[in-house]
Structure formats: structure tokens, C-alpha cells
């Protein structure tokens, strides 16, 4: 599956997962905008030493040395002006935008009651506003030519529950809602939008759940094992839209939202709900995809709208 002539923007592409995406796109013929601020990485208070040089330049140097095509962009996804500048850089260098991978985002971890406002702002500005800020100007270009692929990045923290990660999980679940909303509009314009939740070891020295840090763990959960799914979702042959995938260590699976049959009782009291909670929780489940009507058919079953009134003369 090649990307010859396609133009891909990858945000946060100087290191880790973003680097793997950028390198993989370039290896298969794409022109790549390697976007990265080049700041230090901190999962707590944002205080970290800035690298001596922006690693995005190293990524581009490696791509071009291998015969690929790439440019560096250092604008921030956290502002609409930054998003427009990232897309403008792609158009100036390569003439268009075909693919956006919204990978950039800051992480802030703290106990729920102690999470400071500044950390919440950092999460929302990068994890939620970031995909909005870059995708909106790219969308206009994609819609005009009726082709585009957008891959947003969520996290297992959105559905797994991570102690100290409530704010991060909030932002990453918001990315899922954003993706489904975008996807509902996208297909008729030739654009497909999906979201991935990567599992990869990107912080040396830290473990993963019950598995302590080791070189073997880092290799088992290497970021390169996430890239194949991202590339597939960005390819012209992909027909998937509005889906959420978990990916890591060679495993790829769909993450779904579902709805149980529940109960219908228009005279229910709190005691009724308590007595029927087992049924509400464990009844037959139905997938909530983009074509699903959700709970409305059950809610509105038996409803008769008032008869139309005749015109008054």
C-alpha cells in the first residue's frame, strides 16, 4: 500500500509514535510534514528540559537521507492560528493535504482533586483543540477535492481508567466523540475519520500496568507496531469510517460502544430502577455505530403525535 504523491501531516512527529508514523509514510512515498514543538516531555507539571535541538529536524534528516520527502514545522496545535499555519506549510511545500494524523498532545497526571487548572488547560488545548485546530483547515482542502483521511489519537485511558489520569481520560474520550461527529459529516465529502488508542512504550524507565520497565518490555511494546494500522486508516483503499481501534504489540481490535435493551417503565420510581438494575446492566447488547438509531426507537415506541390541526379560516 503506497502513498506516492500523497501529502501527510503528522503532529507531534519528532519522537516516539509520531516519529514512527512519519517515517512509515515517507518510506511508502508520501510527502510528510513533520510537526513538533521540540519541547521537553513531562507527564506531571510540564516542567522538563528542552532538547538541545528540535527532534523533528532529525526525523526529516533521516527521511531525506533515505530518499524521502519531508519538511519540518514547529507551530503549535494548541491554537487555531497554529493549526492554520501547519496546514499552510503543507500546501506551500507540497501543494495540498491528503492525510492528517492528530498525534500531538500533552499528558498531565495528578490525583483528581489535585489536578491544577493549568494542567486541565494543557490537556484540552492539545488533546481536544489540537485535532480541531489542524483538521478544520485541512478539511476545507480535502472536501474541495473530495478526498481525505484523518486519524485521531485517543488512549486506553479513555476506557480503562487510570489512577491520576482522570483529566487525561476526559480529553481522550472527547477525541472519540469528536471523531464520531466528524465521521458523520465526512463520508459524503470523500473524507474518512477514525481514531486509534495506541499501547506503546514511549517513556524509558516506566512500566506498563503490572509489567515493570525492561528493555524487553520496550521492544514488546515498540511504537513501530502501531504504525501499520495508522497507515491503513490513512490509505485510499480504506473504507472504514467513524471507528475506534486499540492497537499495540501486534494486536489490533475494534473498541465499541453498545446499548442494552434496558427496561421501559413510564411510572418508574428510584426503587424500580434499583430492582431492575441487573437487567439494565446485563441485557442484550447492541452496537452503537454511525448508522445506529440509538435508544430513540425504544424510547418513542407507542408515541402518537397530536393530530394535525386544520387551518383556521
Active site residues: 168
DSSP 8-state symbol, 197: E
For residues 169 and 156, what is the distance between their CA atoms, to the nearest angstrom?
A: 8
How far from 68 is each of 5, 62, 136, 243, CA to CA, in Å?
Answer: 11, 9, 27, 30
| CA 157, 161, 162, 165 torsion-angle sign | positive
For residues 268 and 36, what is the distance between their CA atoms, to the nearest angstrom?
A: 54
| CA 38, 43, 49, 52 torsion-angle sign | negative
Task: Write out the three cell numbers for 119.
Answer: 494542567
For residues 13 and 101, what is the distance between their CA atoms, to the nearest angstrom?
A: 9
Spatial CA neighbour of 201 closest among 25, 16, 2: 16
For residues 248 and 30, what is the distance between their CA atoms, to the nearest angstrom?
A: 24
Q: ∠223-50-104 over CA atoms, to 5°?
A: 40
Task: Give the residues across from 167 on adjacent strands.
Answer: none
For residues 159 and 306, what is the distance between their CA atoms, to the nearest angstrom?
A: 42
Contacts for 105-108 with beta carbons within 8 Å, 24 or more apart? 105/12, 105/77, 105/130, 105/153, 105/171, 106/46, 107/43, 107/168, 108/43, 108/44, 108/45, 108/46, 108/167, 108/168
Spatial CA neighbour of 73 closest among 64, 153, 83: 83
Amino acid at each position: 500500500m503506497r502513498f506516492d504523491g500523497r501529502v501527510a501531516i503528522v503532529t507531534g512527529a519528532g519522537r516516539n509514535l509520531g516519529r514512527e508514523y512519519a517515517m512509515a509514510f515517507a518510506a511508502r512515498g508520501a510527502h510528510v510534514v513533520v510537526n513538533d514543538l521540540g519541547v521537553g516531555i513531562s507527564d506531571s507539571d510540564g516542567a522538563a528540559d528542552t532538547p538541545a535541538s528540535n527532534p523533528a529536524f532529525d526525523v526529516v534528516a533521516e527521511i531525506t537521507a533515505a530518499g524521502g520527502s519531508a519538511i519540518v514545522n514547529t507551530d503549535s496545535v494548541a491554537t487555531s492560528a497554529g493549526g492554520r499555519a501547519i496546514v499552510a506549510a503543507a500546501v506551500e511545500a507540497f501543494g495540498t493535504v491528503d492525510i492528517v494524523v492528530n498525534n500531538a498532545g500533552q499528558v498531565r497526571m495528578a490525583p483528581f482533586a489535585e489536578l491544577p487548572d493549568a494542567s486541565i488547560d494543557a490537556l484540552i488545548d492539545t488533546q481536544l483543540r489540537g485535532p480541531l485546530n489542524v483538521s478544520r483547515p485541512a478539511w476545507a482542502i480535502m472536501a474541495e477535492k473530495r478526498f481525505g483521511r484523518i486519524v485521531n489519537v485517543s488512549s486506553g485511558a479513555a476506557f480503562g481508567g487510570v489512577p491520576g489520569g482522570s483529566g487525561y481520560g476526559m480529553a481522550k474520550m472527547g477525541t472519540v466523540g469528536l471523531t464520531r461527529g466528524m465521521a458523520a459529516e465526512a463520508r459524503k465529502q470523500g473524507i474518512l475519520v477514525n481514531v486509534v488508542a495506541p499501547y506503546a512504550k514511549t517513556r524509558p524507565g516506566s512500566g506498563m500496568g503490572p509489567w515493570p520497565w525492561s528493555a524487553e518490555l520496550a521492544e514488546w511494546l515498540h511504537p513501530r507496531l502501531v504504525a501499520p494500522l495508522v497507515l491503513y486508516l490513512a490509505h485510499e483503499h480504506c473504507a472504514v469510517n467513524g471507528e475506534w481501534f486499540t492497537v499495540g504489540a501486534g494486536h489490533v481490535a475494534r473498541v465499541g460502544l453498545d446499548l442494552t435493551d434496558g427496561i421501559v417503565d413510564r411510572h418508574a420510581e428510584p426503587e424500580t430502577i434499583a430492582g431492575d438494575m441487573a437487567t439494565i446492566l446485563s441485557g442484550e447488547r447492541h452496537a452503537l455505530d454511525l448508522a445506529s438509531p440509538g435508544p430513540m426507537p425504544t424510547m418513542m415506541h407507542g408515541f402518537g403525535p397530536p393530530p394535525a390541526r386544520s387551518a383556521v379560516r
